[in-house]
Amino acid sequence: MLTDKMTKTPTILLIYTGGTIGMIKDYKTGALRTFNFEKLLKRIPEINLLKCAIKSISLEEPIDSSNMNTSNWIVISEIIENNYEKFDGFVVLHGSDTMSYTASAISFMFENLSKPIIFTGSQLPIGDLRTDAKENLITSIEIASSQEDGNPIISEVCLYFEYKLYRANRTTKINAEHFQAFTSPNFPPLGESGVHLKFNKQLIYKPTIIKPLKVRKRLDNNLAILKIFPGITKTVVESILSSKGLKGVILETFGSGNAPTENWFVNLLKKALKKGIQIINVTQCVSGSVIMGQYETSVELQNIGIISGFDITTESALAKLMYLLGENIPKNKFKSLFETSLRGEITEVE
């Protein structure tokens, strides 16, 4: 027997934040500029063939993704929060350069999410002859509106680009020119678009109990990313770790979490830890995991209490750190909580 829920047409809210997908080329100068968002929809008449009802909202001032910040993330989260009960899914159009950062942040900000939030964008403006914008947008809307037995197939924050649907907090941008701009180095795609739209349902997060949505908007951005390199000096490390107001550091190390064993380096880390600064060990490698203690060059990091990021991306680690610092987690619980998968952002070892 079909219920009203199963026969109801899905409603999707399209949120335009800015980015290449909503730009048009000035053929006199060759520069890209933003244009009216309503005109963007008129350029894709195929949207009318989708089996869903679409409404759209645009930020008053479209934002180039290079200018994205935590305040913008809160604005995006509030748009979704204020419309959460009115729509069955959300598609966020965003510039590709910082999309993984924003999408990761939104994944942590939304607790008890039971509806799809799909981020997408494009490498070329929608008016270009060979644009990837139409396919990315149309398929993202189709994904957001996909249901089974009246319930959404996707109930997490995702990123769709060039025929692949990824868990958002697993993604990183890998190419500035190719249409295949993103990858998910340590977790398989949740779905793929070809002749048919196929979902890898065994990988998709499914809430067992539907709880009230909570949106966590307290983000602390007093952070730094410290990338280790051969020949890094004490002066550089010390200047970063002694930055006024610093509360957290993403330490990008070599290989499986290795770093210099020189006394000055370890002592500076110890000093920072004593000041209450949270330090997360994340690998510089595109894929793979931090395994502290596997080599002598990471044993000391483990001994002094550096937090392992395991196979988390730098983008996701940054977003997670902002989120947890904003929640004022007690110092004695912070390490264990960061090393726990909260939104599927790390692979938990059984």
pLDDT in tens, 245-263: 999 999 999 999 999 999 9
pLDDT of residue 39 exceeding 80: no
pLDDT of residue 3 exceeding 90: no
Exposed / middle / buried, residue 245 (Cβ in 10 Å: 0-12, 13-18, 19+)? exposed
Name the active-site residue from 3, 7, 9, 20.
20
State mean pLDDT over 14-35.
Answer: 78
pLDDT band at 143 (very low <50, low <70, confident <90, very high): very high
State mean pLDDT over 100-113.
Answer: 98
State mean pLDDT over 131-142.
Answer: 92
Please give the mean pLDDT across all residues of the chain.
92
pLDDT recorded at residue 5? 61
Distance CA 127, CA 133 (A): 9
Q: Which residues pair with residue 313 across a beta bridge? A: none
State mean pLDDT over 313-340.
Answer: 97
Q: Which CATH class is domain 223-338?
A: alpha beta
Q: Where in the chain is the domain with CATH 3.40.50.1170?
A: 6-215
Helix, strand or coil, per DSSP, at residue 40: helix
State mean pLDDT over 85-96.
Answer: 97
pLDDT recorded at residue 156? 98
pTM of the predicted model over 0.75? yes
Angle, CA of 319, 140 and 61, to the nearest 5°: 60
How far is the CA of 327 from the CAs of 104, 218, 317, in angstroms?
Answer: 17, 7, 15
Distance CA 163, CA 134 (A): 12
pLDDT band at 28 (very low <50, low <70, confident <90, very high): confident
pLDDT band at 37 (very low <50, low <70, confident <90, very high): low
Provide the percentage of residues in the chain whose pLDDT is more than 90. Answer: 78
pLDDT recorded at residue 207? 83
pLDDT of residue 205 exceeding 90: yes
pLDDT recorded at residue 34? 67
Category of 145 on φ-ψ map: left (φ > 0), alpha (ψ -120 to 50) or beta: alpha
pLDDT recorded at residue 49? 85
First to last CA, the chain: 41
Distance CA 57, CA 50 (A): 19
pLDDT recorded at residue 22? 77
pLDDT of residue 36 exceeding 70: no
Distance CA 287, CA 171 (A): 11
pLDDT recorded at residue 8? 86
Q: Which residues contact 67 (CB under 8 A, 6 or more apart)?
A: none
9 is catalytic: no
pLDDT of residue 108 exceeding 60: yes
Tokens 């899905």 belong to residue: 10
pLDDT recorded at residue 1? 42
The CA-based dihedral angle spanning residues 167, 168, 171, 176, taken in that order and rounded to the nearest 10 degrees: 130
Tokens 């000391």 belong to residue: 300
Provide the percentage of residues in the chain whose pLDDT is more than 70. Answer: 93
Q: Between residues 342 and 32, which one has the greater pLDDT?
A: 342
Which stretches within the chain are classed as H helix?
4-7, 37-42, 70-83, 99-109, 133-145, 234-241, 263-274, 296-304, 314-326, 331-338
Residue 206: CB atoms within 10 A of its CB come to 12
Which stretches within 197-257 are classed as H helix?
234-241
179 CA to centre of own chain: 18
pLDDT of residue 311 exceeding 50: yes
State mean pLDDT over 167-180.
Answer: 95
Q: At what angle do helices 234-241 and 263-274 cross, to 10 degrees?
A: 0
Give the HSE-up count for residue 11: Cα atoms under 13 Å, Cβ half-sphere: 9
Provide DSSP, 158-195.
EEEETTEEEEGGG-EE--SSSS--EE-TTS--SEEESS
Q: Where in the chain is the domain with CATH 3.40.50.40?
A: 223-338
Q: Which residues contact 277 (CB under 8 A, 6 or more apart)?
A: 241, 246, 247, 248, 249
Superfamily of domain 6-215 in the CATH hierarchy: L-asparaginase, N-terminal domain (3.40.50.1170)
